[in-house]
Chain A
Amino acid sequence: MLVLTRKNNESIQIGEDIEIKVLGIEGEQIKIGISAPKSVDIYRKELYTEIKEQNNAAASISVDVLKLMREIKEK
């Protein structure tokens, strides 16, 4: 991972069209502004990871889906 040190109000430019700017530092919290094209999805990492894991779990279910569906219908 590339590590850069930045002060408040300083930015990092990634490629042609992504800018990440430090907008404020308060104790343990850092406020970050991101300018990026709309086609780029931006998420809090832990949320993205959660959805990714849930998708993986949903895609790799080991239950016999068709059998389960038959059982539901019979109820």
Chain B
Amino acid sequence: MKIETKYHGEIEIKKEKVIHFINGLPGFPDETDFIILDLQNDAVFQVLQSVHTSALAFVITSPYLFYEGYSIELNDDVLEALSIKNKEEVVVYTIVTLTDPFVKSTINLRAPIVINSKVLKGKQYILNDTEHSSKAPISPEQKEVK
């Protein structure tokens, strides 16, 4: 199927690649279908593009690239909601709030995007701990983000 995207113009996507977010995302409850595209030909940043709304796309990345020790615990509800049977099926992304200059950008470690790559179900999982920030600096050494 053909879709219109925010960063890539009109592209052809495979239906089997669409990730279903059953409750949408906080702030976007009706956006239930997304696809992940490479932002450019680099492996660092991807785009979580809404299939139905061309203007809605989040820049995402792997939190582990920026915070090596990042770890989250998935509770039973999310395991069930995403039909997760084992660890290998799980892919974790974090939404990037890009800013110019780039070093001032932040990533949302408090609410990672958790995807079951096998059945293509996803959810923005809000952690109940206070350890992780929703505006963590993209450069961990940049402590001051206002």
Contacts and interface: CB of A to CB of B under 8 A. Distances in A.
A36 B117 CA distance: 27
Nearest to B94: A58
Interface stretch (B12-20, B21-29, B64-72): B21-29
Interface in B44-79: 45, 56-59, 77
Q: Is the interface of B mostly helix, strand, loop or mixed?
A: loop
Contact of A57 (B22, B23, B80, B97): B97
A43 B127 CA distance: 10
Contacts of B40: 66, 69
Interface residues of A, number: 26
Contacts of B121: none
Contacts of A52: 26-27
Nearest to A41: B23
B22 A39 contact: yes
B83 interface: no
A63 B110 CA distance: 23
Nearest to B123: A41
Nearest to A75: B102
A14 interface: no
Interface string A58-69: 110101111011
24 contacts: A39-B23, A41-B23, A47-B128, A51-B27, A51-B111, A51-B124, A52-B26, A54-B95, A54-B108, A54-B135, A55-B27, A55-B124, A58-B58, A58-B59, A58-B95, A58-B108, A59-B56, A59-B57, A65-B39, A66-B39, A66-B40, A68-B102, A69-B42, A72-B102
